[in-house]
Structure 1
Amino acid sequence: MSIKLFGVALLSVQLGCSSASSEDPIESSGGSTAASGASPSTAGAVASGGGAGSGGVIAAGSPSNGGMAAQPPVSGGGVAGSVAAGGMANAGSGEGGDPGGGVGGTGAAGGTSFPTEPPVRDASSKVPVSKPPSGYTVEGNFAYGPHNAQRIDVIYPNGGGPRATTSLPVVLMFHGGAWIHSYTNDYGSGKDHMSTFFNRFLAHGFIVCNAEYRVNDGTADGAVAPAAVEDALLAAKWCWSYLDYFHGDRSKLVVTGASAGGHLALMVGLTTPAAMLGPTAPNDFKIAGIVSGYGPADIEAELSGVARAWIPADLPDRDAVAKRVNPITYVREGAPPLIVVQGANDNTAPVKDSQRLVNLLTAAGSDASIHLVAGAAHGFTNGTWPDAEKAMFDWLSARGIGK
C-alpha cells in the first residue's frame, strides 16, 4: 500500500529581521508555557485529559495515530515511496528489492539515489514555525510523515541551502516539553522557544533542521510512547535523505535537543531505526555527534517523574515500552560521540542519570562526556547560556564539526 503525501510547492521565506530574543531561556525549571498564555506549568506536569495514544508498541509498517508508514517526500524521489508488508520499503533498495537496504538503496545498477527535487511541504501550513534571525532563510513545513505533527523546518544562511556551492554541517534539533507539549500549539503563538538554541548553531556555521513530533497532549491526536522516538528517527531519515539537496555535509550530521528533545537526541544517536521501527527498517543515517541539552537519560527511573504522562500507568506493556525508549538500553561500543550539557542543579532530568549514561558509554569504549553548568537548573538563562554554549561548541570543534 502506498500513501501519497501533500504534492504542493516548496515555501521559502527570507527573513530580514530577527523575531527571536536571546533574552528568552530555552526552558526554565518552571517548564513550558501554553499557547493560551497560562503560566508555565511545572516541568513534567501531566497533560490535562491525559489523552491515550496508540496504547502500546507500534509495529513497523503499521500506521498508528498518523503512523509509522514510510512516506515519499517527493513524487518519484529516491526515498521510500511505499510500505511493504511487515516493514518499510525503499525505492532502489538492495538487490532484489530488499526493503532492508539504505535510503535510496544500492540497486543492481549501483550507486545511491537521493532526492534532487524539493521536499514535500504541508499544504495546511501557510508559514514555517521556526523564526531565525536576519541573514537566514527558513523553508518548511516539510512533511516527513502523514501525521500533522510530523513536520520539519530547514534553516540556512541566505543564498545557501539549494543554492549553496559548499556544504555545511547540519544539526537535527528537537524541542522540549516533557513529550506532552507540541512546538506548534504550545509554542507557536508568536514565540519560538527553540530560537535561543538554534540561533547558536546557526552562528557556528550549521544548517538547522528543526523538527516537530507527536506528543501526548490530551487531544484525540495525542500519542504516548514510543511515538515521539519513532518520529525522531523518521525525522533523522528525512534529514539524511535531503542533505544533498540542502548542501549539508554527510560526515557532519549532529543531533541535539532540549529536555524531552535532548532525550530524543540521545535516542536518535544511540539506537537504530531497526531497533525501534522493526527488523526491516534500514539503518540509513550516520550521526557524527550527540549534544543532549539536559535530556532525561534514564526513562525507566522517571516513570513517576517527568515521563509519567508520556508513559502513563495504564499503558499496556508499560515497563517494556519504558525500556525500549530508554537511552541506557542502547549503550554500546562504537556509539557516536556524545556530550550531555545540563545544569548542575537539575532535578527534572537528574544529573545522576546523565552521569550514569556517560559512565556506561565510557566503560563500553565510546566517546562520552558531561558538562555541568554551575548555577543552572533545568534549562539555561541569559546568565548560564555562555558556559553551556562554550561547552557545546568547544566539544564539537574538537571533533572537527562547526566553527
Structure 2
Amino acid sequence: MARVYLEHVWKKFGTVVAVKDLTLEVKDGEFFVLLGPSGCGKTTTLRMIAGLEDVTEGTIYIGDRVVNDVHPKDRDIAMVFQNYALYPHMSVFDNISFGLKLRGLPKEEIKARVDEVAGWLGLKELLNRRPRELSGGQRQRVALARALVRRPQVFLMDEPLSNLDAKLRTQARGELLRLHKDFPTTTIYVTHDQVEAMTLGDRVAVMMEGTLQQVDSPQMLYLYPANQFVAGFVGTPPMNFLTMDIVTEEGQMYLKHNGLKVPVTADMAVGLKDYPKNKVLMGIRPQDVHLADEARMIENSGWVLHCISDVAERLGTETYVHFTLDDFELVGRVSAVRTVSMGMEYDIYMDMTGAHLFDLDTGVRVCSGTAPEKMETRLGLKAEPQLRTAEQSEE
C-alpha cells in the first residue's frame, strides 16, 4: 500500500489546460474517488498518475518516490480501464496471468495467484473461456482480477462500471466495496456517476474544468458543498437555486424574491452578519421541500408557499414534483403513496435549516441554514408543527 500525492500538477495540451495546479493527497489504503462531468480533467489526472500522460508541471509521488519520469510498468500500479482492455485471443486465465508472466514469476506461483483471485471473484468456472464468451459483468470481473492478481501498491480505475446495466452496476459496486474491505489497497477511482462516488468513496474530489472544487467525505459534500457547482452536481435531483435580496424588517432578516419572502435561520443570520452584499443565491435541495401537510415543520425555520404542481417524477419509493410560483420553479419530494394532480394548487413547506447561500459572483458558499456542528441535531429534530405563513408575516 502507498500514499499518492500530487503537488501543483498541471497538464496542458498546447494552449488547452486540462488540469490546473492540482494539489491532492490520497491516503494509504484509502478508496478515493475523482468525480466530475466529462472533460473536467479527472481521467487525465488518473493517466498522469499511471504514467500514460506526461506531467507538464508539478510533481507526483507514489509512496516516498517521485514518479514523474518512472515508466508505467515500474510504478507498481494496476489499472482497470473503462472498456476492460482484455486480449480477445487469450483465455480468462491467460488474461489474468499476463502481467505475472511478463514479470517472470514461476508457473506454480502464477497458477496459485490466479486461482486465489478467481475464487474471490467467482471466475473459477470461466478460466478457459475467451472474453467474447463472457457477459459484460464477467468481463468486468476479469479486468478486476487481472489488477488484483498483481498485488500492486495502487489500483487505478477509470469508470470500470460504465458499460454495465443498472442492476449489474449495483452488484459490482458491492463487490468492489467487499474487495476493498478485505484488501485495503490504495485505490483511485474515476467516475462521472455521483451514486458510484457517494457509495464507494472514503473521500471524494470534485473537479470542474481541470480545477479541484472540493475534497471531502461523501456526506459532507452533500450536506456542506463548498460552492454552487458542487451543490448542483452532487445530489439527485439537483438543488433548487433562486436569486434572493437580503432585507431586514423589524429586526428579522429575510430573503426576498418578488412575492416570496423567507426568514433566515439563526445560523444564516450569523453567517450574513458581516456579508457586504445585498443579494445572494439561495440553494435548497428537493429533499427539503415538502407538501405542507407531510412536512416536519420547525418554528421560525421554514416557510409555507402556495404553488401549482406542474410535473411529477415517480420513482417508486418517492415522488419528485415540480411546483411553480410566480416566475420560478421548485422541485420537492412527496410520499410515493400520495397522489399529486397536475395543475392543482398546493401548500408546500421549505425547510430552511437545509438551505445554503452562495455568493452570486464567485459561487462560494457564504453560510448554511444549519451550522456543521449542529447538523447531527438537525437530522434528529423532532419539532411541533408551528410556523408562520406568508400571510401571517405580512400582518
Rg larger in structure: 2
- Which structure shows the higher strand fraction? 2
TM-score class normalised by the smaller sequence: under 0.3
- Higher helix proportion, which one? 2
Q: Name the TM-score, length of structure 2 as normaliser.
A: 0.25
